[in-house]
Chains A and B, each alone.
Chain A
Amino acid sequence: MASLKKAWNPMLAIPILGALSAFYFGLTQTFWAVTGEFTRWGASLMNLVGIDTSHYSYLKLIHYQGTVLDRVDGIMIIGMFLGAFVAALISNNVKLRWPTSKIRIGQAIGGGILAGFGARLAMGCNLAAFFTGIPQFSLHAWIFTIFTVIGTYFGTKIIKMPFFRPRVKLQKKNSHTLADLHQGDHTSRNRVLLILAGVAIVGLFFVEANKAALLPWVLIFGLAFGFLLEKGQVCFTSAFRDLWTAGRTNMTKAIIVGMLVSTIITYFFIRSGIPAKIMWAGPNVVIGGFVFGIGIVIAGGCETGWMYRAMEGQVHYMLVGVGNIIGSMLLVISWDALAPKIVMPFPKVNLLTSLGNYGGLAFTYGALLLSLLLVMWYERHFFKKNSEPTKEVLAHEN
């Protein structure tokens, strides 16, 4: 029970997520993805306020039809929210946390808009164009990843500006007593909320079972995804951003290992006849990855990141979610002007066809292992560089 309450090591949670996401593809023939569904939510909102969305071709492209409860992505996402909520309750991590300043509110919405727009321009987010896109052998995911890395580098320059810094000061304490955390006892509240979440899950299970045999399974996968993201405190933004802010690589390495796991399982599903999900490898992916990279750093989280944090009661990340949906709506509106120039003329490159089955597999594993080595090299380089001033001071003192 104690290990269920504590956070899990991302090096455990993410490889499990990698394996599950590959089996999810095998089951549903679609990949684990979230932003496409958020775009459909945006479209429903537009319809709700009386905007006619029938002429937007992007919505046809992402098969906008039915309600959230009819769509595979929809029920998976509801599962993710519920799974994350259950994990947050078990971990006693649920607390309403309000933004500390207007700057943070602006960051959350503005960064969310950039991330939502960039992700949809590139046809995916940290999942479909990275974590579940690379194992699909789609070249666009590699291009997206590279430009997301570059985007997060510039994003980090922005959030390091004094304007964004916390106003918190280091207080002199000089005492043998730990601060009172004023946590309160949430045991009974958590228990009630857990029961409510349980009722919702069981209810949804029956609703979905009546719709199609597949959908209850989709719900279960969604629950597992959300649960693992919260338990592992899995942050894809951190995997990129914190290379630059702190030279930290634990999340980056865990994500690469996760993809090493999911790639081989996905490969077997594709070889068994399920078509790989391949997207256009055009300038849209370059721009989308870069804008997404900047956006997620300013917002403080990407699509999967805001989902579980919103369920923990972090209002900041609810606003990031609102921003994401606004960003995806802006993309829907501008797609018909952009796509003929920067998307459609470019090929959908499947590495398994362009390099052959074994060539594509070897390329993916080679590039993932190279990324792992690069990250390890970068970490050593970062700490060597940052320890140099101390050595200089020491030499001076001697």
Chain B
Amino acid sequence: MKTDYNIDYLLDLKGEPCPFPAMSTIDAYDDMADEEVIEVLSDCPQSINSIPVDAKKRGHDVLLVQQDGPTFRYVIRVHK
């Protein structure tokens, strides 16, 4: 699937139980520059209550939340 923005990073957390997907995603923001985009994959459905919430709380834009199968996808643009 094509996007109209560039995705700078991929963080594939499939297989990790919570809270590690949420913790690793927050850590990843530290390694990114302003306006960079990250795609996060997690098959821990509880991440729906953590990853987008944490991103918004930190002032980042949640560009995409996909939850139509066991693996969830989040695309986030980081603002610093």
Contact = CB atoms under 8 A, between A and B. Distances in A.
Contacts of A183: 68-71
B78 to A, nearest CB: 12
Contacts of B67: 6-7, 91
Interface in A70-103: 91-95, 97-100
Given A93-B70, A317-B17, A7 B49 contact: yes
B22 interface: yes
A13 to B, nearest CB: 10
A246 B11 contact: no
Given A92-B70, A245-B22, A300-B19, A172 B8 contact: yes
B73 A178 contact: yes
Size class of the contact patch on chain A: 35 or more
Contacts of A247: 57
Interface in B1-44: 1-20, 22-24, 26, 28, 31, 38-39, 41, 43-44
A266 interface: no
Contact of B70 (A94, A98, A383): A94
A93 B8 contact: no
Contacts of A29: none
Contacts of B14: 97
Contacts of A222: none
A251 B49 contact: yes
Contacts of A6: 67
Most buried by A among B9, B10, B17, B69: B17
Contact of B73 (A104, A181, A248, A383): A181
Contact of B15 (A97, A174, A248): A97
A241 B28 CA distance: 20
Given A92-B70, A168-B16, A238 B50 contact: yes
Chain B's interface: helix, strand, loop or mixed, by majority? mixed
B48 interface: yes
B75 interface: yes
A179 B54 contact: no
A177 B8 contact: no
What 9 A-B pairs have minimum CB-CB distances, sorted nearest first?
Answer: A95-B70, A183-B69, A100-B15, A173-B10, A178-B1, A7-B48, A233-B46, A300-B17, A171-B10
25 contacts: A5-B68, A92-B69, A99-B15, A168-B12, A170-B9, A171-B11, A171-B12, A173-B7, A176-B3, A177-B7, A186-B69, A233-B48, A235-B18, A238-B18, A238-B49, A242-B19, A246-B23, A246-B50, A248-B54, A251-B49, A301-B18, A309-B17, A309-B46, A312-B70, A317-B17
Interface of A: 5-7, 10, 91-95, 97-100, 104, 108, 159-160, 164-166, 168, 170-179, 181-184, 186, 233, 235, 238, 241-242, 245-248, 250-251, 300-301, 309, 312-314, 316-317, 383, 390
